[in-house]
């Protein structure tokens, strides 16, 4: 099915472990984004990518790493997970820049760091 898929849907990990959240879109959208959603903060942008091999930091990038070797995939890695990274993570894509296009969101990954 066309759309944007995130995996896993739920993840529990321990402090200090590396964890990768996956995001795959079938629209061939140029732009992809990672947001985290926490109570009281709304959604905050972690990283975004304007095209394959082009990534840039958002509002809260510390502790996260992204890559985009293929247009359709945009994985997010927590190199050494901390409890403060417990959150719901949303991947999104858009056809053009946010100046002109809406975002299409996945259903999120709920990450718990113990």
**Applying CB under 8 A, which residues contact other proteins?**
31, 33, 35, 40-45, 48, 50, 56, 58-59, 90, 92, 97-108
For residue 51, give the nearest of 23, 24, 74 by alpha carbon: 74
Nearest to 25 by CA among 87, 107, 99: 107
Instruction: For other proteins, give the closer residue by CB, 17 or 96.
Output: 96
Minimum CB distance to other proteins smaller for 16 or for 102: 102
Q: Which residues contact 99 (CB under 8 A, 6 or more apart)?
A: none
Minimum Å gap between C-beta 58 and other proteins is 6
CB of 108 or CB of 111, closer to other proteins: 108
């Amino acid at each position: 099915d066309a759309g944007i898929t995130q995996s896993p849907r739920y993840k529990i990990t321990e402090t200090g472990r590396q964890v990768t959240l996956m995001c795959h879109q079938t629209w061939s959208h140029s732009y992809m984004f990672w947001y985290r959603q926490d109570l009281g903060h709304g959604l905050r942008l972690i990283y975004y990518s304007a095209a394959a091999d082009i990534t840039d930091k958002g509002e809260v990038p510390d502790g996260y790493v992204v890559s985009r070797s293929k247009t359709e995939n945009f994985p997010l890695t927590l190199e050494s997970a901390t409890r403060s990274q417990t959150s719901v993570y949303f991947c999104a894509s858009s056809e053009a820049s946010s100046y002109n296009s809406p975002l299409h969101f996945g259903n999120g990954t709920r990450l718990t760091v113990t």
